[in-house]
Amino acid sequence: MLEVRHVSKSFRGLRAVHAASFEVPEGSINGLIGPNGAGKTTIFNVIAGVYAPDAGEIVFEKKRIDGLRPDQVCAAGIGRTFQLVKPFAGLTVLDNVMVGAFLRERTAAGARVLSNSILKKLDLDAKAALPASSLTLPDRKRLEVARALATRPRLLLLDEVMAGLRPTECDQMVEVFRDLNRREGLTILLIEHVMRAVMALARHIGVLHHGEVIARGTPEQVVRDPAVLECYLGEETPV
């Protein structure tokens, strides 16, 4: 569904991503892991259209999307969340999601119906009328996901959505994603540090280090890969 081909991106001489290539098959949940500064968010930003790659291509559903604006990428069917959540603080929870819903629904009524159903799915329906600024961090993360889901993406990019969540909250989120993937066939690509979530969710994992993909495979394969062990997981493998 999504192909990243030899993508490179530098910032003022600093090579953030170098010749990275990987694939995201349709209907799967894929992980992208690596130490801090490995270039994971940069790749996300390139896919999402925030940056144009210096080299390489991004192909989504057989069409090239590299160089498109973020809003065009979203319209093409890729939704994303941000590492540092960006709620519309002055709006209510429902209104936040409605902003997303308006991409596919042209009327306010239609947008509201879609938004309410998504809020229910993410267990936020009780808080629909609250201002977004009043939410706790886990709820804000859920709101971020809900908002992205309202644009009816076929591929969802999740940027460290588990960060800061307690184990139980993390498990809840994992369930939500598993559900979305199973029931609606939503393809997911997630950047994560929280191994608990990655191992539970991802069928394929790519490992980035210093901007390059150093390993690809199933969780079991990656966890045993010597290159990965050397740079990232260390001697012990917490699974």
Residues at the interface with other proteins (CB under 8 A): 48, 69-72, 74-75, 79-80, 82, 86-91, 95, 98-100, 102-103, 106, 108, 111, 147-148, 150-151
Q: How far is the CB of 88 from other proteins (least distance, A)?
A: 4
Instruction: Assign 239 to helix, strand or coil.
Output: coil
In degrees, to the nearest 5, what angle opens at C-alpha 173 toward C-alphas 29 and 122?
Answer: 110
Cβ nearer to other proteins, comparing 72 with 237: 72
Q: How far is the CB of 18 from other proteins (least distance, A)?
A: 25
Q: How far is the CB of 99 from other proteins (least distance, A)?
A: 4
The strand pair at 29-33 and 14-24 is best described as unpaired
Q: How far is the CB of 151 from other proteins (least distance, A)?
A: 6
Q: How far apart are CA 157 and CA 40, in angstroms?
A: 11
Cβ nearer to other proteins, comparing 50 with 59: 50
Cβ nearer to other proteins, comparing 151 with 181: 151
Q: How far apart are CA 158 and CA 53, in angstroms?
A: 20
Cβ nearer to other proteins, comparing 74 with 214: 74
Helix (H) or strand (E) holding 42: helix 40-48
Exposure string (b/e) for 111-135, b if CB count within 10 Å is 16 or more?
Answer: bbebbbebbebbebbebbeebbeeb
